[in-house]
Structure 1
Amino acid sequence: MPSMELIAFFSFLAVAVAQHVKVEPAVFGYVGNQVVLRCQFVDPDSNIEVTQVTWVKDPSGAKQNLAVHNPQYGTNYPVDTNQRIHFRNASLTDASLVIDRLLMTDDGIYSCEFATYPEGNQEAATNLTVLAEPRISGNPMPVNSGKSPVPVASCIAADGKPPASIIWRGTVPGNTTMELTQNADGTTTVTSQYQAVPSSELDGMTLECVVTHRTLERPDVINIALTIRYPPIVTIEGYDDNWYLDREHASLTCNVKANPAVTSYRWYMNGGDLPSEVRAMGHQLTVDQVTYQVNGTFSCEASNILGKTKDSINIFVREHKAAVTSNAGAIAGGVIGGILALLLLACLAGFLLQRRRRGGEAAGSYDPKTRVFGDGNGAARADFTYRPDSDSEKGPSLEPTTPTTTVNAAAEMENLLQSPAPMDNYYQDEEEEEDEKVPISSDPTTEDDMESQRDGSIISKKAVYV
């Protein structure tokens, strides 16, 4: 491929030496396609006479004439190119050259030269770069499981020009290698490999090989599923710890992962043959009816071309069927218990709030002077009085009391008379007024009938209260 310095040199010549010759400094083409190398002679004043036009490849090296046009002698193509190379429209002002079915060997520098009078030869150069789209492929590299990193996938971009770029994407831990091979025709083959520690976990995992190239509109992505070969990995399933006498159709399953596939299964009990009650078919073992003969250790052995592996399980035969407990009841009980606890807390909070509100209202409306006595005719009247020394000190209490005797009224008056001085006149007036309405009895039998209360009052033991 021509160096950038050489391209710049010929571009300078096209501008500085041959101002009349106009070409494209750089042209790109694709293998197998057509390309046009444009070349025109510009003479606005028509003072220059053109006598011949010639296309030359590699003018600084092994100079090779490709096409010549002379008005007197006609058009000639000195090199046999099977008519791939020809003038688009041969004339002394337009010498554009067409190259069909591009080959990699067409890559190089082309010079368009005009023979003129009186200024002599004038020329300009075009650098033709032939691009080759790479052939892309990606494949897994089957390997056996091991402990050292090895190539597990390969991605190739062959015969590309310029060289392709390859990157890997995926979750497989590992690293990559890159190798470039120069081909005789000027193309390059790029080979990249992905290396990882092969294990059964990697088998079937996918890597993405992403190839970018100038000839591609978008990156080409190849999905590669890894192939890791490993001996069987065996696990026995199906035992529910509830094999009891006379149970029917109890079974075990020999689950196996392997690459390549398992070629054979073998079941045995306690290291020997299976009892008559047991049937084994491939990876499945079935006990038609459980007896004490199947109480022991069952083993399953699976084989492939890489080896064989086994797993064992101990079977305990019960006399009776074990009670099956379900987590559903426990879960439901827990949910219901939680709901009840929340309701209880809500009720308790509401009760405390209501009680606090009642306490505030009672404290704000309490009047120690309020007393309700009889109506003056001896009829009892209810007395709703706040009792600070009662059992309800923590909150307001509305206790209906019914004075039934004059002795009870007198006791109430006596308690009131012991109140602070500012209230004496008020309670004294109340007492005198009450004395006028209800005479105090001095009957001894009445006094024996009286009973003192915790709040200081006395009531009759025999009276009927309504």
Structure 2
Amino acid sequence: MKDPASAKINLAVYNPDLGTNYPTDTGGRIHFRQPSDRDATLVIERLEMADEGMYSCEFATYPDGNQEAATNLTILAKPTNDGTAIVVKAGPAEVPVAVCNSANGKPAASISWSGNVEGNASYVTTKNSDGTFTVKSEYKAVPSGEIDGVQITCSVNQQTLKQPAAIPITLSVQYVPIVIIEGYDDNWYLGRDHASLTCSAKANPSAKSYTWLMNGEAVPSSAHVVGHQLTVNKVTYAVNGTFTCQVTNSLGEGRAKMDVLVREQEVAQSSNARAIAGGVIGGILALLLIIFLVGFFLHKQQSGAAGSYDPKRRVFGTGNGAPQPDYTYRPDSDSEKGPSVTVTPSTTVEGHHSGEAENLLTSEPHDYENYKSREGDEEEGESGIPRGPVVPLPGLHRDEVQMEDDMESQRDGSIISKRAVYV
């Protein structure tokens, strides 16, 4: 039975002895699936909105009487959605510019709008005779040429839809042409070739004609007009004035003006261009200065590290009691090997006769510098000071004494080896 609490419409009956019966004519859409005293499943084909309601299944038993249970059938309807633009003329008042419909849906759909056009939306929901709903939404905005061709989106959300249905709508606003003149660079000078102006227009409906005027009259013969472009082959004072471009469509006429100043000579560069060029040049110079300073300091640091060796300080000590490392002389080859001579922080020389060598090395630095391998020689040093006689170290071989020939005095009083490599 359908709607047992109110109309109580009998739809299907089964009796084990008498068989099946369908009291209500449904065109065969409603019937038992497999009628028996154990299965009373009801099948509804080609579901209609009128089939929605409360259904009750009743068993007549003996001797316990009738047993029944009820269930509610809810029917959903997928809506049909569409959206269109409303063609309007430009004006100051807010009017509907687009409409979106969601028809014959159940439950009623919800509609939203998105886009870069400022406006407001209205909604109207209508319940149809079959229980479905139709929702209509209008988007209202102030119509102008700026929103013509702009796209907005109508989104429909409803229970039967897996995701909201997005409907793009391109607005259509009719208006008189919006005109601008381009191409003037404020550098029209006497004798310039091919100076031109371009008339650009935005219009709905499309522009039909372009007309150029100068100071309200026809353009001079030196100016040639082709469509929306005006060209002056050779600039003279005849084109010094105000140019006007008029554009018309079916709604009316739009116009724009441009004042042209003819100069005696060419302007080399505008102030903006000079400012940009100056900024670029300044940036390049600053970058070069930074690169130079970085390279200079790196070179200075490397030079300082490479030239920080002080032979005099390392051989004779710093004079402040700080310990110094040992420096040991070794011959260049095996054939020249002999007793080693080691200079230590205590300024002693180790060899065959360490005592005599110690007396020599503990003398003043200039005495050590004046020492020569050839006995009896006496010369002037690089500083002009006469060198003393050469006194050989007793007991040392000549190869060992030749080590002293390897030492070269410097102008600052220090000595360095001619062959040794200092790191």
Whether 1:104 and 2:52 are equivalent positions in the alignment is no
Whether 1:338 and 2:286 are equivalent positions in the alignment is yes
CA deviation after TM superposition for structure 1 residue 334, in Å:
3.8
Whether 1:88 and 2:33 are equivalent positions in the alignment is yes
- Tell me which amino acid in the other structure corresponds to 1:114: F
Contact 1:374 1:381 survives alignment (8 Å): no
SS of residue matched to 1:130: coil
Whether 1:381 and 2:381 are equivalent positions in the alignment is yes
Distance 1:329 1:78, change over 3 A: same
- Tell me which amino acid in the other structure corresponds to 1:380: E
CA deviation after TM superposition for structure 1 residue 367, in Å:
8.2
Q: Note the alpha carbon deviations across 1:40-92, whole angstroms, 9 max, x for none.
A: xxxxxxxxxxxxxxxx2211112222222334444332222222222222333
Contact 1:235 1:256 survives alignment (8 Å): yes
Q: Note the alpha carbon deviations across 1:361-399, whole angstroms, 9 max, x for none.
A: 77x94989755889998843223xxxxxxxxxxxxxxxx
Corresponding residue for 1:281? 226
Distance 1:257 1:92 in 2: 79
Measured on the aligned residues, the alpha-carbon RMSD in Å equals 3.6
CA deviation after TM superposition for structure 1 residue 236, in Å:
0.6
Whether 1:209 and 2:157 are equivalent positions in the alignment is no
CA deviation after TM superposition for structure 1 residue 270, in Å:
0.7
Distance 1:232 1:169 in 2: 28
Corresponding residue for 1:170? 115
CA deviation after TM superposition for structure 1 residue 355, in Å:
9.0
SS of residue matched to 2:81: strand
CA deviation after TM superposition for structure 1 residue 116, in Å:
2.4
Corresponding residue for 2:70? 125
CA deviation after TM superposition for structure 1 residue 342, in Å:
1.6
1:256 to 193, 196, 201: 201
Distance 2:20 2:3 in 1: 21
SS of residue matched to 2:74: strand
CA deviation after TM superposition for structure 1 residue 345, in Å:
2.1
Distance 1:131 1:374, change over 3 A: closer
Distance 2:101 2:31 in 1: 37
Distance 2:303 2:17 in 1: 127
- Tell me which amino acid in the other structure corresponds to 1:126: T
- Tell me which amino acid in the other structure corresponds to 2:22: Y
Distance 2:244 2:234 in 1: 19
Distance 1:246 1:208 in 2: 55
Corresponding residue for 1:157? 102
Distance 1:354 1:74, change over 3 A: closer
Corresponding residue for 2:215? 270
Moved more, 178-187 or 168-177: 168-177
SS of residue matched to 1:83: coil
- Tell me which amino acid in the other structure corresponds to 2:234: Q
SS of residue matched to 1:178: strand
Distance 2:298 2:57 in 1: 103
SS of residue matched to 1:92: coil
Contact 1:182 1:188 survives alignment (8 Å): yes
Distance 1:84 1:92 in 2: 22
- Tell me which amino acid in the other structure corresponds to 2:5: S
Distance 1:97 1:256 in 2: 69
Distance 1:174 1:329, change over 3 A: closer
CA deviation after TM superposition for structure 1 residue 315, in Å:
1.8
SS of residue matched to 1:64: coil
Q: Note the alpha carbon deviations across 1:181-216, whole angstroms, 9 max, x for none.
A: 111111111222333444443333332222222222
Q: Note the residue ranges of structure 1 that are not aligned, 5 or more in a row.
A: 1-55, 384-401, 404-408, 410-429, 435-466
Contact 1:232 1:307 survives alignment (8 Å): yes
Corresponding residue for 2:14? 69
Distance 1:70 1:316, change over 3 A: same
Whether 1:349 and 2:297 are equivalent positions in the alignment is yes
Contact 1:158 1:190 survives alignment (8 Å): yes
- Give % identity: 49
TM-score (norm 1): 0.62
CA deviation after TM superposition for structure 1 residue 112, in Å:
1.8
Distance 2:370 2:145 in 1: 100
Moved more, 343-352 or 175-184: 343-352
Whether 1:189 and 2:134 are equivalent positions in the alignment is yes
SS of residue matched to 2:156: strand
TM-score (norm 2): 0.67
Distance 1:96 1:347 in 2: 95
SS of residue matched to 1:230: strand
Corresponding residue for 2:166? 221
Distance 1:83 1:355, change over 3 A: closer
SS of residue matched to 2:10: strand
Contact 1:58 1:109 survives alignment (8 Å): yes
Aligned length: 335
SS of residue matched to 1:57: coil
Distance 1:354 1:80 in 2: 108
Contact 1:374 1:380 survives alignment (8 Å): no
CA deviation after TM superposition for structure 1 residue 350, in Å:
5.0
- Tell me which amino acid in the other structure corresponds to 2:382: A
